[in-house]
Amino acid sequence: MSIPYQFKETLLSVEHIDVTLGERAILRDVNACVKNVTRPGVQQGQVVGILGPSGVGKTQLFRVLSGLSRPNAGRVLVGPEQRAVERGRVGVVAQDYPLFAHYSVVENLRLAATLSGCPRGEVDTRVRELLARFELEGQAQLFPALLSGGQRQRAAIAQQLLRKSSLLLMDEPFSGLDLCMLREVCALIREVSQHDELLTLVIVSHDIEAILSVSDTIWLLGRGSAQQAGASIVKVVDLMERGIAWSPDVRAASAYTETRRELEARFLEL
């Protein structure tokens, strides 16, 4: 059953991105955009999954989107104001869930809130809200080394949300997870996506099933042919149009199975 939604202003623009390492073309003319998706009665952010086989250039695209690397050509514009992406202005949750090791969880979150410009009198309130939302109140005084992998991930996401960026990038959040933890992470991503109407999550992964479970749009990154120099976005899959976005039971839908098979078949060609 289709859920009503509307597209509004552009929140992320990826325009003619080229990346070359030495003489090797990694990315070639990558173009895409994300618009604000609104749903009646729901605060709904955007979740874009970037899928592609290993070695195709997902990491390089991740670095360009986050401002960590500058492309050889093209630009990335972020937020309703469509400003050029800058290093440190975009939320990034890497595979190792980086937190300051010598700070407790609550100290990590306070620092993030302070650096984002949160008024001093509101810092503790915002931090308490995020600790409660991500079920970390019992771990607030612990150092990162004492947290489980799931707790570290939740703390890292909370830390980035406190930075008030309109773009949050996650690198391989499903890697190495057992089935129970995978479902927990998918549920967490769905919850985070409703944190802010203008928040866009971009998740880089090669896990087709997990990406299908949490995304509303998929960008398939690959080379259209063996002769193509560098990877580009060879297909955009609109999961909203297919009626398989925003549902925790999406795996039970026939369209989910059809889309998974379609993407698996396309992977073999990339």
Which amino acid is located at 2 in the chain? S
pLDDT at residue number 164: 75
DSSP per position, 150-177: HHHHHHHHHHHHTTT-SEEEEESTTTT-
Determine whether 243 is exposed, middle or buried from the number of CB atoms within 10 Å of its CB (0-12, 13-18, 19+): middle
Residues of the chain with CATH 3.40.50.300: 6-90+167-267
98-108 per-position pLDDT tens digit: 788 899 999 99
Q: String of b and e for 150-183 (b: at least 16 CB within 10 Å)?
A: bbbbbbbbbbbbbbbbbbbbbbbbbeebeeeebe
pLDDT at residue number 88: 82
The helix/strand/coil state of 265 is helix
pLDDT at residue number 226: 63
- Beta-bridge partners for 76: 14
Distance of alpha carbon 75 from alpha carbon 85, whole angstroms: 8
pLDDT at residue number 143: 94
Instruction: Please give, one letter per residue, the 3-state secondary structure of 174-216.
Output: CCCCCHHHHHHHHHHHHHHHCCCCCCEEEEEECCHHHHHHHCC
Give the CATH fold of the 6-90+167-267 domain. Rossmann fold (3.40.50)
In the chain (270 residues long), the average pLDDT of successive 10-residue segments reads: 85 96 92 94 92 90 94 96 90 81 93 85 89 90 90 86 85 81 84 88 91 95 78 94 88 91 87
pLDDT at residue number 1: 55
**Whose structure tokens read 């004492």?**
146
pLDDT at residue number 180: 78
